[in-house]
């Protein structure tokens, strides 16, 4: 199975609840982050940290966006 990370905004008013529930049932790696629909813009640091951690757990992501290392 192809690894997929799904970032879900817990205060998303545009994505209906059953669509979010469907994502939770289909994807093994769902990260809920406090924020609105435009999650990447509203919570950029939290999203970047979740992505870096997810990649690092799979042997990737050799550097952090904040440190540049």
For the full predicted model, state whether its pTM sits above 0.85.
Answer: no
Distance of CA 67 to the CA centre of its chain: 20
Domain that holds residue 24: 5-57
Digit-coded pLDDT (tens) for 12-64? 889 887 887 887 788 778 888 999 999 999 999 999 999 999 999 988 865 55
In sequence order, the β-bridge partners of residue 33 are 9
At 68, the pLDDT band (50, 70, 90 cuts) reads low
Has residue 21 been placed in a domain?
yes
Domain count, the chain: 1
44 closest CA partner among 20, 9, 13, 5: 9
Name, in order, each residue with C-beta under 8 angstroms of 68's C-beta and a sequence gap of 6 or more: none
Count CA within 13 A, CB hemisphere, residue 31: 18
Alpha-carbon distance of 38 to 43, in angstroms, equals 8
**Residue 8 predicted with pLDDT over 60:** yes
Has residue 63 been placed in a domain?
no
Has residue 29 been placed in a domain?
yes
- What pLDDT sits at residue 10? 87
Has residue 47 been placed in a domain?
yes
Has residue 44 been placed in a domain?
yes
């Amino acid at each position: 199975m192809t690894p997929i990370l799904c970032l879900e905004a817990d205060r998303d008013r545009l994505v209906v609840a059953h669509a979010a529930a469907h994502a939770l049932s289909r994807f093994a790696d769902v990260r809920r982050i406090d924020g609105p629909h435009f999650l990447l813009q509203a919570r950029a640091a939290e999203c970047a940290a979740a992505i870096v951690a997810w990649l690092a757990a799979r042997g990737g992501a050799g550097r952090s966006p904040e440190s540049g290392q």
